[in-house]
Amino acid sequence: MEKQLPGVYTAKRKDQTVYYRASLTYRNKHISLGSYDCAADAHQAYVLAGSLLNDTSITLSHYQPASLLSFLKWVCLLNYRDNGIYFSTPIYIRPKFFYYYFSLSEFFIFDLEDLFYYSTRRISRRGGHYFVADYGMQINIMSRYGIKNYAVEGRDYRFRNGNNQDMRYENVEIINRYNGVNAVSIDGKIRYQVKIHVKGNITVGTYDSETEAAIAYNKAADLLKKAGVDKAYTPNYMEGISPAAYADLYASIKISAGIRHYRCE
């Protein structure tokens, strides 16, 4: 590529039309800034990037939509300036946590222990859900907390400080961790109600512990399959319980008559 104005290089698309790439080197790091149809725009992007990297008075609040550099590139450059490390994802590090930005008002707050994970994976959004590409699969970021894809905020999990952008582990509280299990308050005591879906929800029972409730769901799923229900129920998996203890609970747990006597129509 032929060098033009400072920081600008010409390139050609597959159809042989010319465009211009902007880049700069800072602290021995070569940083690509983007592609432009006009050489002057590419040069101005280069100049702006230099200002962001050298003028500590510039903050994210100075960003304007008309900027020749995207907001996400602003984040990457300002983090490099202030924290000495360049990420290709829009991360800005603070002493005890970091921000992952989508826009100035849209961001997540993560614990520093998640820094390596999100510095190498870009978060995508679809229908209110957030995913990362991980080994060829789309992984819901809530799964890192043990939260299922179908979980509902306020019912299955909640944010202790009320801020659903604060994804630090201490702020994410799991209320219902198992399939079909919901914590309910009965006479001031927390118990665990189990329902399973066939054509509609069928009550399996109410139990004193989450473990009993989770096993009750598994048992109900087994009974429904034996009754001819052709549905792929995802069984609950419980850590820290031996096969013998599981078998004893499975045998002793009572299931509602609606499940025990269910017949396919």
- Residue whose entry in the numeric block shows the structure tokens 């994210």: 60
| CATH code of the domain covering residue 54 | 3.30.730
What is the C-alpha separation between 76 and 49, in angstroms, rounded?
Answer: 10
The 10 Å CB-count burial string (b at 16+, else e) for 213-242 is: bbbbbbbbbebbeeeebeeebeebebeeee
Same domain? For 194 and 250 the reply is yes
Domain extent at residue 39: 1-63
What pLDDT is attached to residue 220? 97
What pLDDT is attached to residue 159? 97
Q: Per the domain annotation, does 68 fall within a domain?
A: no
Give 181 or 150, the one with higher predicted confidence.
Answer: 181
Is pLDDT at 199 greater than 90 in this prediction?
no
Q: Domain boundary at 126, 147, 175, which? A: 175
The whole-chain average pLDDT of the chain stands at 93
Q: Domain boundary at 131, 154, 175, which? A: 175
**pTM of the predicted model as reported, rounded to 2 decimal places:** 0.78
Q: How many domains does the chain have?
A: 3
Tens-digit pLDDT profile for residues 6-65:
999 999 999 999 999 999 999 999 999 999 999 999 999 999 999 999 999 999 999 999
Mean predicted confidence (pLDDT) in 148-167: 91
